[in-house]
Amino acid sequence: MNALARMVRSQAGASVIATLLALLIVTLVIAAGGYDIGHAATALWNGSVGSPYSFFSGTLVRATPLIIVGLAVAVAFQAGVLNIGAEGQLLAGAAAAMTAGLAMTGWPGWISVPAELIAGMLAGAACAGIAAVLKRSFGVLEVISTLMLNFVALYGVSYLVRGPLEEPTHTYPETLRLAESARLPVIIPGQRLHLGFIIAVVLAIAAWWFVRSTATGFRIRAVGAGAAAAASAGRVSVDRVVFGTFLASGALAGLGGGVQVTGVTYKLFELISPGYGYTAIAVALLARLNPLAVVVAGIFFGALEAGGAGMQRDAGVPAGFVYAIEALVILGVLAVDRVRTYAGAHSAPVAGERAA
């Protein structure tokens, strides 16, 4: 489809402009802070892509949850579902995967690892399901309900790691580590990159194909872009599509949590997610909700976070600036998009534009 290609191209252009703007502003801030820009840039480069280790064990490892959860957000937003509860769904998924993994100690990996991931997906879907039921049966705005559920999930994890799942010595508020066999395998010897990255990329391709080529995927897009028309002209059951997409989005976010505990941390603790669920919104938006572009945006943000850690280590630039970049990228995309609208370009709606 030519038009789709054209749209993606021009939207990619907007995302690139927005990103460059954000980086420019951040560079100015860093310079104003009295840091050596050259030194900082070198540290950023070295920390993210400068060596095989920084790329495979830094950037791609950090990108993995961002891609998976970014897909969760992108799919939801495509259907007009403003799921901002990916953070809570991720936590629920991480907790469930961990619980499953601890319960299945001693089982062969080919059983326990998939079981952990499935448990994570089910928990994420269940967490999203609460908001979906509240929306469908009680008309509760998902923005508010998912926000509330993020906190409920956070306190739930806190309870688990300080209560039933706390390691036996009760020294640290965290669980025991998963057995070797219950972990996602490392895919490059000597690196930290694990199978979860492959899962993320395969999921992105599958989601891209699904949204573009299947009838269900088209229903999701149609409901997001024009719910009333889909209901009237296509007799689409909008409630069912929204409900199903909500659950799928939650399952993806839960999988992101499951992959994180089985592939990276091997244990559960309160701060297992440094806000992946929120960063994923920036990832999805930068990717213009296109699942393939989510991979690119996820790796970009992963590189920023890995490089940001490197910058703090080597050049003393605070790592918090990564959040500022992410925020500026979102604002940049929004602003560039508005400018395009004013310039008369017929663009597809911005991410998350509500279906009335």
Partner 1 sequence: MDFHRRADWAVTDPAYALTLHGITKQFGSTVALDGADFDVRAGTLHALLGENGAGKTTLMRLAFGMLRADAGTIEVDGTPRRWRSSADAIAAGIGMVHQHFLLIPAMTVAENVSLGDRGILRGFNPRAAADRVRRIGTETGLVLDPAACVADLAVGAQQRLEIVKALARDARILILDEPTAVLSPAESQELYAWLRAFVARGHTVVIITHKVREALAIADDLTVLRRGRTVLTGSSRNLDEIAVIGAMIGASVTADAPATANVSAPGAAVMSLEHVSVIDERGVQRLRDVSMEVRAGEIVGIAGVEGSGQHELLRVLAGRLTADRGHVKTPAHIGFVPADRLRDALVPAMTLTENLALKDSGSARGIVNWDSYEARAAATIRGHDVRTSGPEALAGALSGGNQQKFVLGRELEGSPEALVVENPTRGLDIRAAAHVLAELRSARVAGVAVAVYSSDLDEVLSIADRMIVCFDGNATATAVDAGAVARALVGLG
Partner 2 sequence: MSGGAFTAFLESGVRFATPLAYAALGELVVERAGVINIGLEGAIICGAFGALIAAGTGSVWLGFAGAALAGVLLAAIFAFFVVTLKTDQIITGTAMSMLGLGLTGTLYRTMYGTAGASLHIATIAPAPVPGLSAIPVIGRAFFDQPVVTYALYAIVPALAWWFYRTTGGLALRAVGEHPEAARGAGISPSRVQWAALLFGGAMGGISGGTLVLAQVGTFAEGMSAGRGFIAIAIVVLGRWTPFGVAGAALLFGAASALQTLAQTMGWGMPYQLPLAFPYLLTLVLLASTRGRTASPAALGQRPA
* Residue 225 binds which entry of partner 1, partner 2, none, CB below 5-8 Å type-dependent: partner 1
Q: Judged by CB, which is closer to partner 1: 42, or 237?
A: 237
Instruction: Return the one option of partner 2, partner 1, none that residue 218 interacts with (CB less than 5 to 8 A, by type).
Output: partner 1
Residue in this structure with the two tokens 């995967």, named with its chain if needed: 97
Among 93, 126, 68, 165, residue whose Cα is nearest residue 247: 126
Question: How many residues lie near partner 1 (CB under 8 A)?
Answer: 28
DSSP letter for each residue of 272-307: S-SSHHHHHHHHHHHTTT-HHHHHHHHHHHHHHHHH
Q: How far apart are the first and last CA of the chain?
A: 27
Residues belonging to the chain: 356
Neighbours of 106 (CB within 10 A): 8
Each residue 331-350 as x (binds partner 1 by CB under 8 A) or -, in order, gives: -------------x-xxxx-
> Is the C-alpha dihedral spanning 81, 86, 90, 96 positive or negative?
negative
Residue 272 and residue 250 in contact, taking contact as beta carbons nearer than 8 Å:
no
Q: How near is the Cβ of 318 to partner 2 at its closest, in Å?
A: 4
Q: Which of 15, 19, 99, 150 binds partner 2 (CB under 8 A)?
A: 150
- Name the minimum Å distance from CB 240 to partner 1: 10
Q: For residue 163, with 0-12 CB atoms within 10 Å meaning exposed, 13-18 middle and 19 or more buried, which class applies?
A: exposed
> Helix, strand, or coil here: 269?
strand
171 binds partner 1 (CB under 8 A): no
> Residues binding partner 2: what is the number (CB under 8 A)?
57
Q: Does 163 bind partner 2 (CB under 8 A)?
A: yes
The whole-angstrom separation of Cα 31 and Cα 43 is 15
Cα–Cα distance measured from residue 316 to residue 43, given in angstroms and rounded to the nearest whole number: 10
For residue 21, the partner it binds in partner 1, partner 2, none, with Cβ less than 5 to 8 A by kind, is: none
Q: Which position among 102, 328, 340, 355 is part of the footprint of partner 2 (CB under 8 A)?
A: 328
Contacting residues toward partner 2, per CB under 8 A: 29, 33-35, 82, 84, 130, 134, 137-141, 143-145, 147-152, 155-156, 158-159, 162-163, 275, 278-279, 281-282, 285, 317-328, 330-331, 334-335, 337-338, 350-354
Contacting residues toward partner 1, per CB under 8 A: 1-3, 213-215, 218-219, 221-222, 225-226, 228-237, 344, 346-349, 356
